[in-house]
Each structure stands twice: as structure tokens, then as C-alpha cells.
Amino acid sequence: MSDITDAARAILAFNDRGGYTVPTDALYPFQWNWDSAFVSMGFATFNIDRAYQELERLIEGQWDDGMLPHIVFHVPSDTYFPGPDVWNTHHRHHKKPTTSGITQPPVFGMALRYIYEIALTEGREDVLARTRLLFHAALRSHRWWMKVRDPEKRGLVAILHPWESGSDNSPAWDEALARVSTITKTEICRQDTKHVSAAMRPHHADYQRFIHLVEVYRECKWDPVKQWSAAPFKVADVQMTAILARATADLIWIASHLNLLDEINELSTIHRILLDGLRGRWRNNLRGFVSLDLISGKDIQKPTQAYFIPLIAIELDTYQHEAVQDEIERWCNGMIVGVPSTAPFSSDFESKRYWRGPVWAVINWLIVDGLCKNHLAELAAIIEGNTINAIERAGFREYFDPITGEGLGGNSFSWTAAAYLVLRH
């Protein structure tokens, strides 16, 4: 085992707060939904029990309607804004930890399959009951997605807040977010810029809009039907839909192993609906998949990493196959490390600002996976190698400048450590 693999494991141990992992100390002091799913896969490369525990601690925060919240506030901390008081979702929970009121990409189902497969190869029959319990939690959350976030039955699930996307500050949201008011009742006490340079973080007006959205939904008392009608921001997101579709396929795989026939049927229907929805979002002229702004009714054409995420869920046709390969190569041309989160030729590109150019190891992990699934193994190997090199050169940083390879954002970052462990596995 290399020293760097040791270091990656040490980061997961350092960020362990008792069965769950914070993304990084201080900047993000709670349990984040999709971070934990990635982290559980990192743990699975060396500690199956701890991998299961990560997901078990996450579902402690699951809502009665099935939603898996984006943050679980297990233990109070004043180093992050907005905390539980701003969200004010307490009323939904009895003897459960408080949580935020929105969700994040459902990588959970992908993670569960990944760790279950490793457990099986290790002959760990004892994980069956734990797998079953987590499977049902995931299934409840997928039902929530379909019912609550695709009520108009497009085969695409919608986000009501940029924070749900996981790509919070992406230029993909600029136009839709510009319609949201900057007026807030809550005093905005940003903590992020105390930990990381303001030049790498969202602008103040964006934070005002983020908080305005929280207030709108809080006033709906977090009732999903009321939120759908009141939402001033509503985007059918291809990245989210692709992750949900892929996680659904992974749950079908688990259900087959557990011999859960009704669940296989139910999930297969969901899977078909989502694949149909995704296929309709391909644009030949852009050589990628685009999200749909449900308020303006317009395509979101901004070139971001989301263009390529559907590869994890669908098989490309021959034309798409070549187009995607050329497009990814174009984005990576001249970069020390690709794939940039916004295309370098775009006027929105900023190599150091949060989701507007920098490279995320977990996004590359998804792109590598999607390329392999689509038989583009050579390109996948290049991106994988560059990601590993970036981490080895700059450390386990939150994200990387694609032009210089410099490590940026938070330090000792859990999902970067997990990505390293999985890509090296």
C-alpha cells in the first residue's frame, strides 16, 4: 500500500465524527448527503463495516416522506451558515437529528451496490440485513423523487434550489437564479469566506438568493406540493436525473440479488421512464445533454460537466459516442487536469471559482465511469490518470484549477480521499 493511500485513509479517519464523515473540518462540519455516499465507497475499499455505517448514519435523517436531506445536523456547530435554525425543519423530526429541508444527488443507491458487491466478494453474508434496510431506505427516496420532483411526468427530476444539484454555483443556474429575489428576512452570516478566499466562493447576491429560496420553502412548511407551486427556481436537471437513473439500475441489481420481485418491477418502470427522459435532452449541436428550465421552458445550454454525466446511465448511439469523445477532448485541451466543470472556451469560465471551471475528483470519477460504460476506455484512463496525478501533486483538496493543477477550496477533503481510494482500487 502506498503512502498516499495511507494518507487518504487517514483523512477519512480524521473527518470521522462517530460513524459519519464530515466533508472537511470547519468549512463543512455536518454530514452531507452525496459526499457520504462517495465516502462510503472509499471506506468499502478497506473497511466494509465502516462503509455501511456511513450510509446508516445518513438515513437517520431521512424524512417520513422518503426525502434524504442534503445535510444532517448530527451535532451543533457554528462554523457553517445556514444552520438548523434557518432551515427550521425541526417539526418533522422526533428523536431524529435535525436536517436541512432540501436534498442532493442520489448517489446513495450507487454506493450501496458498490459496497454490497465488495462485501459479497469478501464472503460477508452477514451484511444481508443491513443491505436490505438500506435498500428500502433508497427505494423510499427514489419514490419520493418520482412523485415529488417529477409530478408533471417528464421523466426528468427537478431541483428547487441550486444547492440540491451539488454543483451549487454552476453557470447553468445563472439565468434561472437571476429571477429569484435578493430580499431576505434572515441575516446572512456567511462563514465560508472565513475558511476559503472569497474569490473562490459564490458572490454575495447569490447567497441572498440561496437564502431567499430557503425562506420561500420554509414558509411552505416544507410541504413538497406547496413548494412545487411556490418555487421561483425550478430546473429539470440532467445530472440529477442521470444519477437517479443509474442509482435505480443499481438498486435493480441489488433487488435481483435479494430476490425482491415486486421491487424489481417497480424500479424497472422508474428506470425506463428516466432513460426516456434523458434521451430527449441530447442536443447534437452542443454535443451534450442539457437541463430544462421549467419556469422559462427553455433549454439550459451553458456548457458544464452536466453535459456528460448521463453517460453513467445510458448507452450512447454511434453519433453521440464520437461527439462526446471529441467534446470532452476539446474541453481538456491545454488543461493540466480536466474535466473542467465549465468549458474553458465559455465566457463564464473561471478557473478558480466554485463550479465555474475547477475540476472535482468525484465528478471525474462519474465521468470515468460513464466513459467506461460507453466503451471509451482510453479517454477514461487519461482522465483517471490525470485525476490521480492532480491529487498526488496538490493534495486532497476540495477541487483543482484545471489550468495550473493548483489545489483549491477546503483541505483534507473526504470525497477527494474517497475518489483516490476508489480510482486506485
Beta carbons within 8 Å of 34's beta carbon, 6+ residues apart: 104, 105, 106, 107, 108, 166
Residues 208, 184 contacting (CB under 8 angstroms):
yes
Q: What residues form DSSP beta bridges with 138?
A: none
Nearer to ligand 9YW, 32 or 145 (CB): 32
Nearer to ligand 9YW, 238 or 267 (CB): 238
Q: Angle of helix 48-58 relative to helix 108-121, nearest 10 degrees?
A: 150
Beta carbons within 8 Å of 35's beta carbon, 6+ residues apart: 21, 23, 28, 414, 415
Cα angle for residues 84, 85, 89 (degrees, 5° grid): 65
Q: Is 402 exposed, middle or buried (0-12, 13-18, 19+ CB in 10 A)?
A: buried
Q: Which of 168, 174, 175, 215 is catalytic?
A: 168
Nearer to ligand 9YW, 70 or 281 (CB): 70
We find the least distance from the C-beta atom of residue 127 to ligand 9YW, in angstroms, to be 26
Is 398 annotated in the active site? yes
**Nearest-CB residue for ligand 9YW:** 23
We find the least distance from the C-beta atom of residue 168 to ligand 9YW, in angstroms, to be 4
Q: Which residues bind ligand 9YW (CB under 6 A)?
A: 23, 28, 32, 34-35, 166, 168
Alpha-carbon span 339 to 357, nearest angstrom: 9
We find the least distance from the C-beta atom of residue 329 to ligand 9YW, in angstroms, to be 26
Q: Strands 291-293 and 235-236, how do they pair?
A: antiparallel
Q: Which amino acid is at 43?
A: F
We find the least distance from the C-beta atom of residue 28 to ligand 9YW, in angstroms, to be 5
Q: Which of 263, 398, 401, 406 is catalytic?
A: 398
Nearer to ligand 9YW, 52 or 173 (CB): 173
Alpha-carbon span 381 to 176, nearest angstrom: 36
Nearer to ligand 9YW, 35 or 293 (CB): 35
Which residue reads 456548457 in cell numbers? 303
Nearer to ligand 9YW, 192 or 266 (CB): 192
We find the least distance from the C-beta atom of residue 360 to ligand 9YW, in angstroms, to be 8
φ and ψ of 218, to 5 deg:
-65, -40
Which residue reads 501533486 in cell numbers? 393
We find the least distance from the C-beta atom of residue 91 to ligand 9YW, in angstroms, to be 24
Catalytic positions, please? 168, 398
